[in-house]
Amino acid sequence: MNTITLTTWSLEMTSPGGLVPAAVPGPEITVARAEVPSPEFSRFLYASVGGDIHWTDRLALTREQWVEQLARPGVETWVAYDRGTPAGYVELDPQADGVVEIVYFGLLPDFRGRRIGGHLLSVGTARAWDLASRWPDREPTRRVWLHTCSQDGPTAMANYERRGFKVFATETESKEETATPGPWPGA
């Protein structure tokens, strides 16, 4: 098996004023919160968005583990739709001390390159900043962060930086190259 060099960047935004929103791509694109946690829908989004870019960490989770993850107070999934069809999603995970992580963000392959990602990231980041308004037991957000890696889409890093995120850590490691699972097996 071949080895690859994987670089992972951690990025953050420390003020809601740091968000530079992207233009709305058109009236056919909407973003809505999936208010009813659904492990089946979340797994569909995860496998469909991440299947060709090596997302594998959640593929082995049981339904009960998905339920446990999604049912935690403050965890939110925001979905972009193109005329009613899911185009991508962002998952927010509140942590201690007013920190919110954008755990997953991305678009299904057929929706990439259409300026939907910048808009979805803008909406997701804004919702991370106002998360406490929907979850009164949560502290107000003081920091939003995420990570991306060299296996993510070719425009991911530029999108994060255009929205106002700044790199605060970089890690490089060698790892065995694995085949992309694709969205179809088990999707």
Which of 99, 175, 186, 109 is closest to 144 using CA atoms?
Answer: 99
- pLDDT given for residue 162 in this prediction: 97
Residues linked to residue 77 through DSSP beta bridges, in sequence order? 91
Residue 75 lies in a domain: yes
86 lies in some domain: yes
Is the per-residue pLDDT at 127 higher than 60?
yes
Does some domain include residue 186? no
* pLDDT at residue 187 tops 50: no
Burial 112-145 (b: 16+ CB within 10 A, else e): beeebbbbbbbbbbbbbbebbeeeeebeebebbb
pLDDT tens for each residue of 65-114 = 999 999 999 999 999 999 999 999 999 999 999 999 999 999 999 999 99
Q: Residue 66 has which token pair? A: 């998905």
> Does the predicted TM-score (pTM) go above 0.85?
yes
pLDDT tens-digit map of 22-61: 999 999 999 999 999 999 999 999 999 998 888 888 988 9
Strand ordering across the sheet containing 99-107: 29-33, 76-82, 85-94, 99-107, 143-149, 3-13, 166-176
Mean pLDDT (whole number) for 122-151: 96
> Is residue 67 in some structural domain?
yes
Q: Given this model, what pLDDT does residue 77 score?
A: 98
183 inside domain: no
Rounded Cα gap, residues 88 and 92, in angstroms? 14
155-169 confidence digits (pLDDT tens): 899 999 999 999 999
Q: Where are the alpha helices (DSSP H) in the chain?
A: 39-50, 63-70, 116-129, 131-134, 156-162
CATH code at 111? 3.40.630.30
Amino acid at 71: A
Domain residues for 104?
3-176
- Does 185 score more than 60 pLDDT? no
Give how many domains the chain has, as a whole number.
1
Q: Does position 183 have pLDDT exceeding 70, yes or no?
A: no
Q: Does 182 reside within a domain?
A: no
pLDDT of residue 153: 80
